[in-house]
């Protein structure tokens, strides 16, 4: 088979589901920047390659665009409405007054949407991410968090860290402590607060029984992988794993031939049999089964 000219590639461990779906996220972004872009996995070299339809581009360019695009939890109209309500609320508080009940309820509603609703990536990507908006008891979606976690806050913390990646081809191996995004800081010192990731990267998982305490509750400063977390969130919008026979297990296929995003998505979920098939499970991060993490995958089949 004749392969197109590779525009760029990233190193990947395809048995790490977070890295796999991060590759899917890269292809999604390339698909939007350069229509007709194709991607494929090269198992012999442990890498994921992208061809931007003959255009000379770099992964550094794509990473820079993602690091600097607008990541919003609200529409432009909702953002303006929230800004007006927040400004009025601050003014009234200085006067020892409160917002009328109807306005206060709307202010809180917009705050909740900003934290937990759909996430919008602005230009040059123009993507709405909302694949997780299902019931908390829905086991068909590989959601790793509980309903009250601030998704926009996590996405923004991961985005802020992308600018520190010095080796774009090894972007999935760049680890750091995610920090409070500036729009969530109430005091200057808040910028040092650690932010928990989505737990897509299988290297991140640690159960309280194994370490003697909960990382979440202790605000422990442990390493996360921002490119994997944010790109994985993006990739899962189009590229969905299939449910495996057992509860909390999922499967995905890593394709070997150059494919555009719409076709590759059909391969990932198994609608089009191709490539190598992998199976992974969601591990529980607490005994109440509210918070989960991606485990490493094993190859199945031929």
**pLDDT tens for residues 134-164?**
766 677 889 898 766 789 999 999 999 999 9
Look at the chain and report how many structural domains it folds into: 1
| Per-residue pLDDT reduced to its tens digit, 223-248 | 999 999 999 999 999 999 999 988 89
Residue 78 lies in a domain: no
Q: Tell me which long-range contacts 41-46 makes (C-beta under 8 A, separation of at least 24).
A: 41/12, 41/14, 41/254, 41/255, 41/256, 41/275, 42/9, 42/256, 43/14, 43/254, 43/256, 43/276, 46/11, 46/12, 46/13, 46/14
116 part of a folded domain: no
- Report yes or no on 45 lying in a domain: yes
Decide if 111 is inside a domain.
no
Residue 46 covered by a domain: yes
What pLDDT does 64 receive?
96
Domain range for 289: 8-71+136-300
Structure confidence at residue 115 as a pLDDT band (50, 70, 90)? low
Does some domain include residue 174? yes
Residue 193 lies in a domain: yes
Question: Beta-strand (E) ranges in 141-284?
Answer: 242-243, 249-254, 276-284
Tell me the whole-structure pTM to 2 decimals: 0.85
Supply the DSSP symbol for 41: E
Q: Which is nearest to 230 in space by CA: 154, 146, 130, 148?
A: 154
């Amino acid at each position: 088979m004749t392969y197109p000219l590779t525009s760029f590639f990233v190193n990947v461990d395809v048995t790490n589901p977070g890295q796999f779906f991060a590759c899917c996220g890269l292809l999604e972004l390339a698909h939007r920047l350069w229509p007709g872009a194709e991607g494929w996995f090269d198992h012999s070299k442990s890498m994921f390659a992208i061809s931007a339809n003959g255009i000379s581009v770099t992964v550094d360019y794509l990473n820079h665009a993602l690091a600097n695009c607008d990541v919003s939890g609200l529409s432009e109209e909702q953002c303006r409405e929230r800004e007006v309500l927040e400004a009025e609320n601050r003014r009234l508080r200085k006067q020892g007054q409160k917002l009328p009940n109807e306005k206060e309820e709307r202010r809180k509603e917009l705050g909740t949407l900003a934290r937990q609703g759909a996430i919008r990536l602005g230009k040059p990507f123009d993507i709405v991410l909302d694949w997780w908006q299902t019931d908390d008891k829905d086991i068909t979606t590989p959601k790793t968090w509980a309903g009250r976690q601030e998704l926009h806050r996590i996405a923004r913390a991961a985005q802020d860290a992308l600018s520190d990646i010095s080796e774009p081809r090894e972007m999935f191996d760049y680890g750091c402590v995610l920090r409070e995004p500036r729009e969530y800081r109430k005091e200057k010192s808040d910028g040092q607060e650690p932010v928990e990731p989505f737990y897509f990267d299988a290297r991140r998982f640690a159960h309280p029984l194994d370490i003697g305490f909960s990382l979440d509750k202790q605000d422990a400063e442990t390493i996360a992988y921002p490119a994997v977390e944010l790109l994985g969130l993006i990739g899962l919008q189009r590229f969905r794993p299939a449910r495996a026979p057992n509860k909390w297990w999922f499967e995905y296929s890593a394709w070997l031939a150059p494919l555009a995003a719409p076709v590759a998505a059909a391969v990932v979920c198994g609608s089009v049999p191709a490539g190598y098939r992998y199976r992974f499970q969601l591990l529980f991060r607490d005994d109440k089964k509210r918070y989960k993490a991606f485990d490493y995958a094993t190859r199945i089949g031929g």
